[in-house]
Amino acid sequence: DGGITQSPKYLFRKEGQNVTLSCEQNLNHDAMYWYRQDPGQGLRLIYYSQIVNDFQKGDIAEGYSVSREKKESFPLTVTSAQKNPTAFYLCASTDGNTGELFFGEGSRLTVL
């Protein structure tokens, strides 16, 4: 089945460690996105990529990094520079025709 796969679902990290969240899609979508959700807030855009080897900062990119070496993959690294990394992270891709976002099931990161 076509879709978006995020891993891991749950992740615990010690302060000062970098961690990478995986996002893979087999929908043949060009554009991919990373969002962060905190309690009581909407989804906030971290980074997005409209095409392979290109990506743009979103509203809250500080402390995060991404790469887009393959169309199917858009991993997000949460670096030690991110001051408050504990959150729920959602990856999505868009249908170029309608702009409809297709989401993964999310990754919950907890910093101990």
Determine, following the binding rule CB under 8 A, whether residue 48 of this chain makes contact with other proteins.
yes
Tell me the C-alpha to C-alpha distance, in Å, between residue 20 and each of 42, 77, 96, 111: 22, 4, 27, 13
Contact criterion met (CB below 8 Å) for 70 and 52: yes
Q: Tell whether residue 16 is a contact of other proteins (CB under 8 A).
A: no
Looking at 4, 19, 87, 109, which residue binds other proteins (CB under 8 A)?
4
Q: Verify binding: residue 54, other proteins, rule CB under 8 A.
A: no
How many residues at the interface with other proteins, by CB under 8 A?
Answer: 24
Q: What is the separation of C-alpha 82 from the centre of its chain, rounded to a whole number of angstroms? A: 14
Among the listed ranges 14-22, 38-46, 64-72, 77-85, the one in contact with other proteins (CB under 8 A) is 38-46
For residue 104, state whether it binds other proteins (rule: CB under 8 A): yes
The CB density around residue 79, as the number of other CB atoms within 10 Å, is 15
Six-digit token string for 58: 């979103």
Beta bridge partners of 107: 89
Output 48 or 64, the one with its CB closest to other proteins.
Answer: 48
Binding site for other proteins (CB under 8 A): 4, 31, 33, 35, 40-45, 48, 50, 56, 90, 94, 98-106
